[in-house]
């Protein structure tokens, strides 16, 4: 009971420090489930960082910190825990962003001809970067023929002259097409 009171007191200071940094915190001190069950529950809920603090950890002045994105666990000193978690959350956010961007970029296929466009639609998933002449009529015709639609014109799209894959008319940039499934 004394150990639980000491842990509760230390956790209260950690929670206060994290909330002061604008970090959402939930202290689960319930006794009705085993730790492994709680860990799995919070992982399924999408909690990015889990901190476990037991009596032995408290004696050693550390807490176990687990990252959801890489499944790594590490011990962090209690004195700098709030700053370490703040930094860790920024690292996780950057890591997730970089992975998503790499995945997106790996799933964009540039094509230059109508035949390549149709073949790519049938054989690959993801986006197709193709030239389009900028008219609604061409966009509608491509949709009618293939069920593919323009998903976006990227903000950082480089201006690149070419010819529309369907009409052969001049185009100033590629747009991203995809099929809805």
CATH of 107-179, one of 3.30.110.30, 3.30.67.10, 3.30.70.100, 3.30.565.10: 3.30.110.30
CATH of span 2-103:
3.40.50.800
- What pLDDT sits at residue 180? 86
Q: CB neighbours of 172 closer than 8 A, spacing ≥ 6?
A: 134, 159, 160, 161
Distance between CA atoms of residues 174 and 139, nearest Å: 13
Give the predicted TM-score (pTM) of the model: 0.78
Spatial CA neighbour of 145 closest among 167, 169, 126 = 167
- Tens digit of each residue's pLDDT, the chain (181 residues): 888 999 999 999 999 999 999 999 999 998 899 999 999 999 999 999 999 999 999 999 999 999 999 999 999 999 999 999 999 999 999 999 999 999 999 999 999 999 999 999 999 999 999 999 999 999 999 999 999 999 999 998 889 999 999 999 999 999 999 998 7
End-to-end CA distance of the chain: give it in Å, rounded. Answer: 56
Q: What is the DSSP string of 43-88?
A: HHHT-SEEEE--HHHHHHTEEEEEETTT--EEEEEGGGHHHHHHHH
Distance between CA atoms of residues 132 and 146, nearest Å: 15
Per-domain residue ranges of the chain: 2-103, 107-179
β-pair type (108-110, 127-131): parallel
């Amino acid at each position: 009971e004394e150990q639980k009171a000491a842990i509760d007191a230390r956790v209260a200071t950690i929670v206060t420090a994290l909330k002061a940094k604008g970090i959402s915190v939930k202290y689960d001190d319930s006794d009705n489930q085993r730790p492994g069950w709680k860990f799995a529950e919070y992982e399924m809920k999408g909690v990015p960082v889990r901190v476990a603090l037991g009596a032995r950890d408290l004696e050693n002045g550390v807490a176990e910190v687990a990252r959801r994105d890489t499944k790594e666990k590490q011990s962090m000193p209690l004195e700098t825990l709030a700053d370490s978690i703040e930094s860790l959350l920024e690292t996780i956010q950057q890591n997730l962003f970089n992975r998503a961007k790499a995945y997106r970029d790996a799933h964009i296929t540039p094509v230059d001809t109508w035949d390549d466009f149709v073949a790519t639609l049938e054989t690959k998933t993801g986006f197709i970067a193709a030239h389009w002449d900028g008219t609604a009529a061409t966009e509608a015709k491509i949709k009618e023929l293939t069920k593919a639609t323009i998903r976006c014109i990227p903000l950082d799209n480089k201006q690149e002259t070419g010819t529309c894959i369907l009409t052969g008319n001049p185009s100033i940039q590629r747009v991203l097409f995809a099929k809805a499934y």
